[in-house]
Amino acid sequence: MKGRAPWRIPNISRSLRKESRRGTSGESKILRSAQRLSGAELQGADFREAILIGADLTTADLDRASLSPAYLSKARLVGAKLTEADLRGADLTEAILIRANLRQAKLTRAGLNRALLLNAHLIGADLCEADLSGADLGEANLVGANLSGADLSRTGLVETNLETANLTGCSVYGISAWNVRLERAIQSNLVITPEYESPIQVDNLEVAQFIYLLLNNERIRSVIDTITSKVVLILGRFTPDRKVVLDAIRDELRKRDYLPVLFDFEKPASKDLTGTISTLANMARFIIADLTHPSSVPHELATVVPLQTIILEGQREYAMFPDLMRRHHWVLEPHQYKSKELLIAQLSERVIARRKPRRRS
């Protein structure tokens, strides 16, 4: 390739003028030529202002090629190599860039709306002010990419890697962000509202979609209010004799318009499960824990919400429980009961009514 002049695709508008004077179809001639670019070696090629709408560039090698501002809408670039390519202002609307390598590519103000970029490599790419609205970046790698001012509205970001990326000032209205990697990413001034509304900005991509729903969806607000006012966390052992009691408590709480959540805390708790229980505990109105036979309560739960314990008459609470009560006034003395039937009959007066006001952090 050394000493070889870069290959330039002719501008279709000029060719059309020439071909029209000759009475032939220049458009079909150029598009037929474009279809033969699959797998072509085009490193450093000059495609400036080339019109390659719908062209097949599958696995083509376009490293360091000049494509500013080429017209590549609906082009097929699956597995194409575009490392350090110049795509500034290029039109890639609905282009298929699955597994394409765009490392260090220049994509400033490029049009990538509704483009498919699944598993694409965009490490260190410059996407400043690019239009990625409606694009699918699922599992794409954008480590260190510059997305400042980019339009990410309605963009799919499922398991996308955005570590150390710059997202300053991005529009993220309608974004779908799930399991996104954002370590050390810059996430300031993210606009969560559509362009026709007064802008509302947040500084966290993962909560952006939730905040917008919270502001604009009455049902979501109602669900959150319901959770914080009605959820009761029930902890106990799921042995046959204890499960009967726990189920009876759950049924009675349902009758009283609470939302009981039942957990077996005797089983070894994984880190994920402990985190889940702690999250529920922080949202719960209060906790009911059965200390029969003897059991224990995860101590981190006792520091966040009112904790009412119960125990079968004749049983003793576990050794560290009195210390827990001394240190936390919202941990109440166990209510002793003789039978399931008596416990349910006394639930309102002896258990629910005794709980302390919910502690707020």
Q: What is the pLDDT of residues 310-359, one digit of tens each?
A: 777 777 666 566 666 666 666 767 777 788 787 888 777 656 655 544 44
Average pLDDT, the chain: 80
Q: Name the residue ranges covered by the structural domains of the chain.
A: 222-352
pLDDT, tens digit, 9 for 90 and up, residues 289-314:
887 765 555 555 555 566 677 777 77
Rounded CA-CA distance 184/45 in Å is 36
Here the tokens at position 331 are 């941990």
Q: pTM of the entire structure?
A: 0.63
Here the tokens at position 21 are 């004077």
Rounded CA-CA distance 318/291 in Å is 7
Give the per-residue pLDDT at 109: 98
Answer whether residue 132 shows pLDDT above 80: yes
Rounded CA-CA distance 102/95 in Å is 14
Here the tokens at position 164 are 């150390």
Rounded CA-CA distance 113/7 in Å is 28
Residues above pLDDT 70, as percent of the chain: 72
Residues above pLDDT 90, as percent of the chain: 42
Give the per-residue pLDDT at 156: 96
Q: How far, in whole angstroms, is CA 81 from its chain's centroid?
A: 28
Answer whether residue 288 shows pLDDT above 60: yes
Here the tokens at position 169 are 């000032």
What fold is seen in the domain 222-352? Answer: Rossmann fold (3.40.50)
Rounded CA-CA distance 55/77 in Å is 8
Answer whether residue 13 shows pLDDT above 70: no
CB 81 within 8 A of CB 61: yes
CB 283 within 8 A of CB 305: no
CB 74 within 8 A of CB 53: yes
pLDDT, tens digit, 9 for 90 and up, residues 154-167:
999 999 999 999 99
